[in-house]
Amino acid sequence: MSDRGTGQTPISGESLLFLTDDQLRRGIEAMFFAYRGFTADPDRILQDYAYGRAHHRAVHFIKRSPGTTVNNLLDILGVTKQSLNRVLRALIEDGLVESRVGKQDRRERHLFLTETGQELEKELSEAQRGRMRAAYRDAGPDAVAGFRQVLEQIMDPEMRRHFQAFKEGS
């Protein structure tokens, strides 16, 4: 699977990276097909709760940064506040998310997952992690390192900031 150094494709040349349009097209399609698989498991689960991908994203990033503000979430998700608000309102009404008024700045709302919210987050992320873990296992550690390097380069610089802001175990 991984014979580093013995070029299996024209792209693993030493210094020059000659990339044909066809090779790049392959990478583009890989992203397309993989993203479909990546979201498939959570999407299936969300149907049972009458939620969508937008709810998943909100729950994920609230879990990652408990107490985050609405504004911060808007920045990360890259949607309008009206769009996020609709999703957030549903989650709050259903008792999955709690919105607390800020102590220093009382205009801000700090978002937290309730017990129920944490349960849903766990169900979703376990499904998604399961697929990633299997993919990582089959591809091997070196492939995983490359995977993350390339993904990071594909991001917009601003998104890369958001991504790097949360290193492992921070």
Partner DNA sequence: CTTGGAAAGTCAACAAGGCTGACATAAACT
Partner DNA sequence: AGTTTATGTCAGCCTTGTTGACTTTCCAAG
**Of 94 and 118, which CB lies nearer to its own copies in the complex structure?**
118
**Binding piece for its own copies, criterion CB under 8 A, among 4-12, 65-73, 87-95, 97-105:** 4-12
65 binds, among its own copies, DNA, none (CB under 5 to 8 A by kind): none
CA dist 68 and 137 (Å) reads: 33
In the complex, the residues that contact DNA under the rule CB under 7 A are 50-55, 57, 69-71, 74, 78-89, 99, 101-102, 104-109
**Of 87 and 124, which CB lies nearer to DNA in the complex structure?**
87
Measure the CA angle with vertex 99, ends 79 and 110; round to 5°.
Answer: 70
CB of 49 to its own copies, least distance (A): 19
Q: Which of 6, 36, 74, 98 binds its own copies (CB under 8 A)?
A: 36
CB of 64 to DNA, least distance (A): 16
| Closest of 148, 162, 153, 157 to residue 77, by C-alpha | 162
Residue 105, Ramachandran bin (φ over 0: left; ψ between -120 and 50: alpha; else beta):
beta
87 binds, among DNA, its own copies, none (CB under 5 to 8 A by kind): DNA
Radius of gyration of the chain (CA): 19
